[in-house]
Every structure is written in structure tokens, then in C-alpha cells.
Amino acid sequence: MTIIAFIGSVFSPYYAKERRRAIVDPAQHCSINVAVYGRGAARWAMTERCRHALGATPEQLAIGPSSLSWDGTRLIVRIDEKAPVTGLPVRGVVTLEPEIRSDFATDFGTDGRHLWAPIAPRARVEARFDAPAISWTGTGYFDTNRGDEPLEDGFSYWNWSRACLSDSAVMLYEGTRQNGSKFNMGIQIAADGSVSPVELRERCDLPLTRYWKMPRETRVDAGHTANVEQTLEDTPFYSRSMIATHLLGEPVHAMHESVSLDRFRKRWVQSLLGWRMPRVTLQGSSRGVFGMSRDQIE
């Protein structure tokens, strides 16, 4: 499962269209993206909403009928969304309780234009959904990103992975900035929140995704390799996968993603995004692939 709350939906074709017109109001492009994976229980929702649907306080973020709230020890996410095209409901409550907390943050050498912070690199998660009817507990992860420019202006490509070790969490980030310079960062965050750099020189190329041929790679311990266990998302510019790998002396399972912002820039890619990202207007009507033509996106 992944849940992402956006103020300024970075992959929104509607937001990209406004930026091309120099109209920049992130609050006009808010959404909560929910992806639930599992045999017989897969659901995906990402409805974009306007400023009137946004409510934000230090303790709560509400976007439409869904919300995230912090009670001092736990993040409680209440989901009430609908899948695009099918209209199937995605409704439930997810509770995340940090096991490791961190104040680490980095801008990946962008002079502060982008910031990433793994707030809870390891957490205990409980999910209780009515639709689809699933219930489970497990480990999770909570981070935050913000930026003063579009992602595609700062980066050309990146891959990221996160894994839980026996007493810590490891995150790897590697990619190329738009100016052609490369970055490669690995960190290990211990139970007390202390951060240590991780230097892995062994690169492992993973198979291209099946449909859109997205490149995937990662770093592993010397003498070891990594394998894709499951491809969760295979899109023209983004992949999300579960991989089996070996990090800091331990065999682990990791969540992995790769993103091509150069692909995302292409208008034909953005014209496809309306299928998965309908937009609700102030009047309550919605637009999606059926209500937005190619020239409207451009």
C-alpha cells in the first residue's frame, strides 16, 4: 500500500498546464493518492481537487472527504475515495506509529529548491479497509517532500529504495539532475534516529518494466545481487516495485521506485494521465480523460 498527500500535485497534467501559462497556485491542485495492492483487492485512486476542498492545520490535512491527522504519537489516515473509470470505492483507516524518528533532510544539491526528509523511516502500520475488504498490520515508512520548482525542472531521472534492517532502516537515492550532474546518496538511520552514510559501490541493473520499459537499478553489497519480486506500477514515466536485495550484511526486501522526469515532460504522457487523475471542480463536476482534450492539456 502507498498513500501520498499532495498540495500541488507534482504529476498532475492540469497543474503542468497552468505552470506553462505561469499560473502557479499549488492549493488549486490537491489530491490524496491511494494504491492498494493484493490479489483480489487492488484499488487505485487519485482525484484532484481545488482549493475549496483543502483544509490544513498543524495537526491535520484534509483534502475532500479524506484526511491525515497527527494525535501526538500516531498518524491517522482516513480514506474515502473512488477509483477512476470504475468508480469503485476506496475507503478505510490507516494508522502509522513511528518506531524510528528522524530529523534528517537533504536538498540533493539543488540549493534548497527541493527538500526530502524521512520523518519516520520505520513505523508500525495498521490498515482496516471496508472497500476493498482488507485488514492487516505490518511495517511502513513516512516521508515528506517539498519544492520551489517543478520536479522536472530539477531532475532528469532518479531511483529510490527503502528497506528495514533488523535494527535500522536504509534508504538509497541515485539519479541525474537536469544540469546533467549526478547524485548518489545512501543513509542508514538507527533506532535512536542517528544517521550514518552508506556507500555501496556495487551497482545492480534490474530488468526493464514489462510494458513501458522503464529502467530500474539499485546498489547492493559487494558480491550480491537484487531481483524484482513484483512490479506494482508500470507507467510511461514511473515504476514501483518490490525487490529482494542485500544491504549492510542482511538479505532484505525493499520498496523501489524509478522516475523519469524527461518522460513526464512529454505532452503525450501527460495526455494519458487524465485516465488515472480525474479532477473535481468547484461546482462538484469532474473532468478526466473524457472531459479534457489534448489541446486543453497542451
Confidence of residue 39 (pLDDT cuts 50, 70, 90): confident
Instruction: Give the pairing type, strands 54-56 and 227-234.
Output: unpaired
Task: State whether 92 and 24 are in the same domain.
Answer: yes
Write the pLDDT tens digit of every residue in 27-36: 999 999 999 9
- Give DSSP secondary structure letters for 219-230: EE-TT---EEEE
What is the rounded average pLDDT of the residues 246-259? Answer: 98
Whether 162 and 18 share a structural domain: no
Tell the burial category of 132 from Cβ atoms under 10 Å away from its Cβ (0-12, 13-18, 19+): middle
Ramachandran region, residue 211 (left: φ > 0; alpha: ψ -120 to 50; beta: rest)? alpha
Query: How many Å apart are CA 12 and CA 95, to the nearest integer?
Result: 27
Whether residues 209 and 281 share a domain: the answer is no
Q: In this structure, are 10 and 92 located in the same domain?
A: yes
Same-domain status, 136 and 204 = no
The three-state secondary structure class of 17 is helix
pLDDT reported for residue 282: 60
Residues 202, 221 contacting (CB under 8 angstroms): yes
Would you say the C-alpha torsion 239, 245, 249, 251 has a positive or negative sign? positive
Same domain? For 128 and 230 the reply is: no
The H or E element spanning position 16 is helix 13-20
Q: Is the pLDDT at 288 greater than 70, yes or no?
A: no
Domain that holds residue 154: 150-263
- Is residue 79 a contact partner of residue 90, using CB atoms and an 8 Å limit? yes
Q: Which residues have CB under 8 Å from 208's CB, separation 6+?
A: 214, 215, 216
CA distance 3 to 283: 26
Longest Cα–Cα distance of the chain, Å, equals: 59
Q: pLDDT value at position 24?
A: 87
The model's pLDDT over 120-166, given as tens digits with 9 standing for 90+, comes to 999 999 999 999 999 999 999 999 999 999 999 999 999 999 999 99
The pTM (predicted TM-score) of the whole model is 0.91
Same domain, 173 and 120: no
| Contact between 120 and 102 (Cβ < 8 Å) | yes
* DSSP H or E stretch at residue 146: strand 134-147
Residues 132, 36 contacting (CB under 8 angstroms): yes
Tens digits of residue pLDDT in 188-245: 999 999 999 999 989 999 999 999 999 999 999 999 999 999 999 999 999 999 999 9
Q: Closest by alpha carbon to 69, among 96, 100, 31?
A: 96
Residues 138 and 154 in one domain: no
Q: Closest by alpha carbon to 188, among 134, 250, 234?
A: 250
The strand pairing partners of 147, in sequence order, are: 114
- Are 130 and 50 within one domain? yes
Residues 154 and 124 occupy one common structural domain = no
The three cell numbers locating residue 171: 534508504
- pLDDT on residue 283: 52
Q: Are residues 70 and 123 in the same domain?
A: yes
Question: Do residues 67 and 53 touch, judged by C-beta distance below 8 A?
Answer: no
Total structural domains within the chain = 2
Cα-based angle 197, 117, 249 (whole degrees, multiple of 5): 35
- pLDDT at position 293 is 30
Dump pLDDT digits (tens) for 113-133: 999 999 999 999 999 999 999
pLDDT-based confidence at residue 295 (cuts at 50, 70, 90): very low
**88 shares its domain with 190:** no
